Amino acid sequence: MKKVNFNNLDNIQIPESWTKSALSLPETLENKKKVVYFSRFSKNLALVASLVLVCALSVSLFIFTQKGDILNAHKPSQNSESTTVTQTEHANQSESEVSPATETQEKTQQTESSTPTEPTQKVTEETVTETQKATAPTLKPDTSDPDASDPNGVVPPTQKPTPTEPPETPEAPEEAPEVEFDGKITVQFPSSHLSGNGYVYCQIYDGSDTLLGDSNPYSDTHRAFLTLPSAGNSSSSYVTATYNIDKGGFSLSKGTYRYCFYNENGETICSGLFDVY
């Protein structure tokens, strides 16, 4: 009988090539180029893509919400208050914008209230009419109920009050400097202010703004004299009725008076103040 000797198994000879291959493993690993496959970034790509998508959706939602707010802003039930504020602002704006015209109107109305003479009335009416025409849209929101003007409470762009310039009228009174009175008032004005036969009239108001002399604005007592027309300018002198008492004139005591030159159409050429010492 033979005995089993396991020591024989220890004689298995491992080829030297195995050892060489195992020893060259570190070098092989170092020389091996790292190939990075695109699929390795798939998770990152998906993450970035989802982030971009979320951002885009957020932005679009934000824009959509803002548009919705703008659309809702035009509904009267929700934004009547803001509309009223806007109208008030426009009204204030129009008030400030039409202030020169309103001043003109006030001045002319002052004249009218003191002496309702024909030419002055004429001038005042025209001025008021034109001013009202010009300022009508702007004054509308100030004087009228916003609900009455537009049931929706929305001012359409066409009805939006536009700033109006004061009407440039030749009859706008020129603020002349205070003249030194020696019984005669002399002023200069552009010849374009003349009308009709070229007659110029002058009225004098006392300190209480009461018309002195004849109530007829075209009477001889108010007639001024044109002198030295040259280079587009005319000069007119008005000899006060102090020296024409015999023609229904009047005398001037000490005090401050206001003069007002106007043409045949009743259009004011210039006005100003003068003192009598």
Torsion region of 188: left, alpha or beta (phi above 0 gives left; psi -120 to 50 gives alpha): beta
The token duo for 256 is 């401050």
Task: Please say which residue, 5 or 143, places its beta carbon nearer to another protein.
Answer: 5
Q: How far is the CB of 35 from another protein (least distance, A)?
A: 17
Q: How far is the CB of 6 from another protein (least distance, A)?
A: 3
Q: How far is the CB of 58 from another protein (least distance, A)?
A: 45
Task: Please say which residue, 29 or 36, places its beta carbon nearer to another protein.
Answer: 29
- Using CA atoms, how far apart are residues 266 and 113, in angstroms rounded to an integer? 16
Q: How far is the CB of 34 from another protein (least distance, A)?
A: 14
Q: If we measure between CA atoms, which residue out of 82, 100, 87 comes closest to residue 137?
A: 87
**Contact (Cβ atoms closer than 8 angstroms) between residue 120 and residue 112:** yes
Q: If we measure between CA atoms, which residue out of 238, 234, 262, 257 comes closest to residue 127?
A: 262
Task: Please say which residue, 16 or 69, places its beta carbon nearer to another protein.
Answer: 16
- Using CA atoms, how far apart are residues 193 and 172, in angstroms rounded to an integer? 10
Task: Please say which residue, 17 or 158, places its beta carbon nearer to another protein.
Answer: 17
∠171-124-193 over CA atoms, to 5°?
Answer: 15
Interacting residues of 203 by C-beta distance below 8 A, sequence separation 6+: 115, 117, 211, 212, 213, 217, 222, 259, 260, 262
Binding residues vs another protein (CB under 8 A) = 1-15, 18-19, 21-23, 25-26, 29-30
Q: How far is the CB of 3 from another protein (least distance, A)?
A: 6
Q: How far is the CB of 4 from another protein (least distance, A)?
A: 4
Work out whether strand 179-180 and strand 268-276 pair parallel, antiparallel, or are unpaired: parallel
**Contact (Cβ atoms closer than 8 angstroms) between residue 90 and residue 141:** yes
Interacting residues of 184 by C-beta distance below 8 A, sequence separation 6+: 237, 238, 239, 240
Task: Please say which residue, 14 or 36, places its beta carbon nearer to another protein.
Answer: 14
**Contact (Cβ atoms closer than 8 angstroms) between residue 123 and residue 112:** no
Task: Please say which residue, 4 or 35, places its beta carbon nearer to another protein.
Answer: 4
Give the Cβ contact number of residue 257 at 10 Å.
20
Q: How far is the CB of 5 from another protein (least distance, A)?
A: 6
Task: Please say which residue, 12 or 35, places its beta carbon nearer to another protein.
Answer: 12
